[in-house]
Amino acid sequence: MALTGELFVASKRVSRDGPGFKAVAAATGTEIEPSFSIATTEDVETAAAAAEAAFPIYSGLPREDRAKFLEAIADEIEALGDELVERAMQESGLPQARLTGERGRTAGQLRLFAKELRLGEYLRARIDHAIPDRAPAPKPDLRLRHVPLGPVTVFGASNFPLAFSVAGGDTASALAAGCPVIVKGHSAHPGTSELVAGAITRAAEKTGMPAGVFSLINGAGNTVGQALVTDPRIKAVGFTGSRGGGTALMKLAQNRPIPIPVYAEMSSINPVFLLPGALAARAEALGKGYIASLTMGAGQFCTNPGLVLALEGPDLDTFVTSASDAMCGAPSQVMLTPGIHKAYESGVARWASAPALKLVAKGQEASGPTSGRGALFTMTGADFIADPSHAEEVFGAASLLVRCADIAELQKVVTLLEGQLTATLHLAESDTELARQLLPSLERLAGRILANGWPTGVEVTDAQVHGGPFPSTSDGRSTSVGTLAIDRFLRPVAYQDLPEALLPAELREDSSVPRRIDGKPTL
């Protein structure tokens, strides 16, 4: 399938004259064909109007129909075959194995949400039967379910061109909830986006969805994104990207006449705690594991271990030696975009010029103009406490090890950290008591707490939380990965004394979804 550079406005391919834009090959920084259309104001208007018109139809469909739509998208994405992975490799610079895995994850999470729809527990249905003879007043019949918010805008992310872009986690959870989706495509991978958008529209057609259920809009600069976030028909926003971008969207959404929620996943340095027992038992292995996690995908994961905390001592020296050796052997890797590469280089330069920080190891020399070279820095706990701004995220394979004099200093450092997606404990049995002391702080700090692992693998499952207090996300009350992500696009509605004929299917007596009935959870 040749790329056309078209937009998808209400599932229809649309081409626009005038200056377009081209993708840039991540490895070389050179442009690749074709040129992509930039959406007009009318395109945004058409997409929003169609999403609004589609909402009552799409949200009113039986859950089974939406489940089939999600599964059809997964099938169509897989049917794109090698072309999708090849274009994504070219545009993102990510290796084939990673993108093949990411395609699997993308299809897998669409199918997981289909399963979630069939289960129906996400509706959190509740029934309180009437008590007509209650004194002093009769008790009415009350029934509750969750309904979708309305059309949703999703911003594609550069670091997951499949799993967090056009048909990624935000789109899957919003579509599952019953919300039409308008994707603002990321300019770093427009070809990948076009291929996936084609898959979605084919799936929508095959399963009889209303045209407005999906649009893909490209834009230059922020105009199109701003128009979408401020459009009165848009009821929620999903975003993964920089802190600056995320907080700008939050402001836009809050200043609307009717404010809407923005689910922005922004910056996190994912502190890793090496507790004394673990360090005594396996400092060398930990050093290797750390660098493997840090340099994976050129360090371009939201859950990259950007900060390590440990107590001074010979075991920590062993860890540093092991990590330094591993870092010295780590090949440089193509970064996602020339802009991200440049920001990484300047972040590393900022750290290198900070008197409190010490560079202890660098990865192998850059092999191309946009290749990122890993970097490992250390500093003392006292210096960190004096200026915690060093903890600002450097997006890429750079990390900072904070050597603490004692446990009190380590605990002080924890209180200075901003909200995080993850916090990791490496511990041995002898560390249990210290871990127990740290846990309450870590629960306040992060959305996911790991033991004896590395934060970079994010399992897509029921019990996952990929979220956390500000600024790791704009709203720590939610997750963007895993089935609980559907919650973000729902709100509760109660029905009082509604005749059975008018009740939603899941609130009728004969429904089989899990519900709480008269105070008792039932399956």
Stretch that binds its own copies, among 35-43, 270-278, 341-349, 456-464 (CB under 8 A): 456-464
Give min distance, CB of 151 to its own copies, in A: 11
d(CA 246, CA 157): 12
Position 304 contacts its own copies (CB under 8 A): no
- Whether the CA torsion 429, 431, 437, 439 is positive or negative: it is negative
Position 98 contacts its own copies (CB under 8 A): no
Nearer to its own copies, 17 or 133 (CB): 133
Stretch that binds its own copies, among 68-76, 323-331, 403-411, 463-471 (CB under 8 A): 463-471
For 208-221, b/e burial (b = at least 16 CB within 10 A) is ebbbbbbbbbbbee
Which residue from 30, 82, 365, 523 is in contact with its own copies, where contact means CB under 8 A? 523
Give min distance, CB of 186 to its own copies, in A: 25
Nearer to its own copies, 1 or 285 (CB): 285
Give the number of C-alpha atoms closer than 13 A to the C-alpha of residue 126, restricted to the C-beta side: 13
Give min distance, CB of 316 to its own copies, in A: 23
- The mark string for 316-335 relative to its own copies (x by CB under 8 A, - otherwise) is --------------------
Residue with tokens 């990510």: 94
Name residues whose C-beta falls within 8 Å of residue 356's C-beta, 6 or more positions apart in sequence. 379, 380, 383, 384, 386, 387, 390
Position 519 contacts its own copies (CB under 8 A): yes
| CA-based R_g, the chain, Å | 25
- 43-72 residues near its own copies, rule: CB under 8 A: 56, 59-60
Position 258 contacts its own copies (CB under 8 A): yes
- 112-141 residues near its own copies, rule: CB under 8 A: 115, 119, 121, 124, 126-128, 136-137, 139-140
Stretch that binds its own copies, among 160-168, 315-323, 371-379, 449-457 (CB under 8 A): 449-457
Beta strand pairing status for 262-265 and 236-240? parallel
DSSP string over 146-201: EEE-S-EEEEPPSS-TTTTSTTSHHHHHHHHHT--EEEE--TT-HHHHHHHHHHHH
Nearer to its own copies, 156 or 471 (CB): 471
Q: Residue 221: what residue type?
A: G
Position 254 contacts its own copies (CB under 8 A): yes
Give min distance, CB of 152 to its own copies, in A: 13
DSSP string over 192-220: HHHHHHHHHHHHHHHTT--GGGEEEE--S
As given in the structure block, the two tokens for residue 261 are 């929620």
Residues forming the active site: 265, 302
